[in-house]
Amino acid sequence: MRDCFRVFSTIQGVLLAALVCLPLTAQAQSLDPPDEEVIADLLKENLPPFWTLDDLEILATVNDGDQVAPRLRMRIEAEIETAEALYLPAPGRPERTDPFILLVETVAQGAERKIFGTAHAWLAEGRWQVRIDIENGIGGLGQSRGAYLQPALVAGTGEAEAALARIAEAEAFAARIAAERSAVLASLERDFAELQRVHAAKLREMEAAHAGAVEALRIRQERAIAALQETVDGSIEAAGLAARKAALDKEIALLDEVLALEAAKGERLEEMRKVAEAAAAEHFAVLSAKLAEGAYFEIEMIRDGKPSTGGLQITAYDAGTGATEGELSLGSRKCAVKGELNTTAIVLTGKKCSVKIPLEAGPDGRSGGTGTFRGRAYSMTMSFH
């Protein structure tokens, strides 16, 4: 058993640091320098879990110090082996894979590799301090599939092809929904406008005809009364006047009924408009249900004619109130926003950013709007795919 060894080691960008304390023995009291077993144990503890150490050898040792303050340099050579296959993200990402990450295999399971380096050891505070410098690191060789935070797919496998096909199918479905929504809303707006136009014209026509008929009846009634008043027989004259007036009143009542029917038609047209708006709201509810699952929208942000890639991640959405929270990103920079998602637009603001984009998407599933990011104004185009 040995004294305490404090170890620092770097393997090509992967920082490995550990404090390893071993129980003291009689032999350790002589402050024996670390040997191959100690160096191997320390290196093994600091390797990534998908690498295993098979062997380590100290090829040469030199003391750059003296017996009082020894500073040892040990040339080491180690053989390591992959416990499982290693992967790196597929270059270029030619197609959308969210929420998956597409990987390519870089090192097969059981592949062996030699690493070379120098172990530095020196005495301080009554114990050996050890630092291991590796010359040919393993940081750029990838990591195991399970080490990636996102669900991982291996390029070229049947699993990856099936998942990518499902993603493409979902995107196509979203595009169809957006196109259908736009078509339905446009058709409803055209039909409603035509109904309003026809109703207004018919109502004006009926009002003009009714006003003319009433005026004509009034004139005829006044003339008839005046004529009857000139007759000699007052009783006959009175009886004829009453009958004539009753006939005229009946004609006016009929005209009033016609006008009431036209007013009822107007009320039915208003009900049809409300039904159309309800259908549009129901269609939006289907879309908002999908948004409530935490949808992510790609956004192209343009400032001074220069486009940049951004996005809006919906993190919370209340379909009842329209209250929405999300995260607006531009490259690696992010900004929390909140506000409202209603049947017409997404309107979200944060301390240093904002976004306002209509939900009326074009045939390509995109809609243009405006916003700010870090105090700068941008024109923004959101993709609803």
What was the pLDDT predicted at 10? 37
Please provide the average confidence, as pLDDT, over all residues in the chain.
81
What was the pLDDT predicted at 163? 66
* Res 297 pLDDT > 80: yes
Bridge partners of 311, per DSSP, are 298, 329
What was the pLDDT predicted at 168? 64
* Res 214 pLDDT > 60: yes
Report whether the peptide linkage leading into residue 99 is cis, meaning its omega lies within 30 degrees of zero: yes
Question: What tens digit of pLDDT does each residue of 41-69 get?
Answer: 999 988 999 999 999 999 999 999 998 89
Share of the chain above pLDDT 70, in %: 83
With cut-offs at 50, 70 and 90, classify the pLDDT of residue 19. Answer: very low
Collapsed DSSP state (helix, strand, coil) of residue 374: coil
Lowest mean per-residue pLDDT among 119-123, 169-173, 240-244, 338-342: 169-173
- pTM tops 0.75, yes or no: no
Share of the chain above pLDDT 90, in %: 34
Collapsed DSSP state (helix, strand, coil) of residue 88: strand
With cut-offs at 50, 70 and 90, classify the pLDDT of residue 70. Answer: very high
What was the pLDDT predicted at 379? 93
What was the pLDDT predicted at 278? 72
Domain ranges of the chain: 5-155, 183-285, 296-383
Sheet holding 86-89, edge to edge: 86-89, 101-107, 152-154
β-strand pairing of 51-63 with 376-383: unpaired
Closest CA to 79 of 107, 49, 111, 113: 113
Q: In whole angstroms, how large is the CA radius of gyration of the chain?
A: 42
What was the pLDDT predicted at 299? 92
Lowest mean per-residue pLDDT among 33-37, 227-231, 234-238: 234-238
What was the pLDDT predicted at 23? 28
With cut-offs at 50, 70 and 90, classify the pLDDT of residue 243. Answer: confident
Fold for 296-383, please state it.
Lipocalin (2.40.128)
* Res 283 pLDDT > 60: no
Identity of the residue numbered 57:
E
DSSP state of 144: -
Q: Greater confidence, 312 or 166?
A: 312
User: Using an 8 Å Cβ cutoff, are 143 and 85 in contact?
Assistant: no
Sign of the CA dihedral 247, 250, 254, 259?
positive
With cut-offs at 50, 70 and 90, classify the pLDDT of residue 84. Answer: very high
What was the pLDDT predicted at 63? 95
* Res 285 pLDDT > 80: no
What was the pLDDT predicted at 135? 92
**DSSP symbols for 8-52:** EEEETTEEEEEEE-----TGGGG-PPP-HHHHHHHHHHHS-TTEE
Question: What tens digit of pLDDT does each residue of 179-199 get?
Answer: 888 888 888 888 889 889 898
Q: Greater confidence, 377 or 101?
A: 377
What was the pLDDT predicted at 6? 38
- The whole-number average pLDDT for the span 78-85 is 94
CA separation (Å) from 312 to 170, 232, 302, 327, 360?
A: 19, 94, 15, 6, 17
* Res 231 pLDDT > 80: no
What was the pLDDT predicted at 151? 85
Question: What tens digit of pLDDT does each residue of 246-278 get?
Answer: 888 888 888 888 888 888 888 888 888 887 577
* Res 76 pLDDT > 70: yes
Question: What tens digit of pLDDT does each residue of 130-184 get?
Answer: 999 999 988 889 998 888 888 888 877 777 677 676 776 766 787 788 888 888 8
What was the pLDDT predicted at 22? 29
